[in-house]
A and B are shown apart, each in its own frame.
Chain A
């Protein structure tokens, strides 16, 4: 079936270091979305990418959608303690469902 894998599963960084999480789909995606879930909270939508090779930035966050529309990445520059949480990608295939990735849990040490 359709799957979306994310790596790494966990990442611990020192405050100020960069962080990247990668998302890979077994099939071509119509779009990909990224969500952040703070500890004890619920997922919150960050961004949606639609076009092949698209790059979007939100302050220190950079999102990329691969040329083949099968992979994506989220890069955080100079992490802060407020970046702590689990980051999920979610891909839309040819149905109206989103397939969520397994998530990457980010821990930032001050």
Chain B
């Protein structure tokens, strides 16, 4: 059953803690992306990776970090430096850049 998975679905953290969101895909896609969505808003690109061991900052990378050690996995760490971390985080993958993207179910992060 091919697809892209994110875990957990809901995540609660205290302010000042780092938290890592998981994203795994078995679609054999080279490109992976992390977006942030705030209530009633569009999608803003945090980081993206076109190939293993390489990634680029998106429009709102400050306070976030990523790694791409395996083709299947692209975890996102929300650090304590991120001023407003509470949001809906979406991971996506695609065969290549600018091609249709497949989205995971998302993780709703709440930081109090």
Cβ of B51 to closest chain A Cβ, rounded Å: 11
Number of A-B contacts (CB under 8 A): 55
* Contact between chains at B42 and A100 (CB < 8 Å): yes
* Contact between chains at B48 and A48 (CB < 8 Å): no
* Contact between chains at B97 and A95 (CB < 8 Å): yes
Say which size band chain B's interface belongs to: 20 to 34
List which B57-101 residues lie within 8 A (CB) of chain A: 58-59, 90, 92, 96-101
Q: A42-B104, A44-B103 are in contact. Are A98 and B42 (CB under 8 A)?
A: no
* Contact between chains at B45 and A97 (CB < 8 Å): yes
Bound state CA distance, A109 and B41, in angstroms?
22
Per-position 1/0 for A82-110, Cβ under 8 A of B:
00000010101001111011110100000
Contacts of B50 in A (CB 8 A): 96
Interface size on A, residues (CB 8 A): 23
Query: Per DSSP, are chain A's interface residues mostly helix, strand or loop, or mixed?
Result: strand
List 14 A-B residue pairs with CB atoms under 8 Å apart, sorted by A's residue number: A33-B100, A42-B103, A42-B104, A42-B106, A43-B90, A48-B99, A90-B101, A92-B98, A95-B97, A95-B98, A96-B50, A96-B97, A100-B42, A100-B45
Chain A residues with a Cβ under 8 A of chain B? 1, 6, 30-31, 33, 41-45, 48, 88, 90, 92, 95-98, 100-103, 105
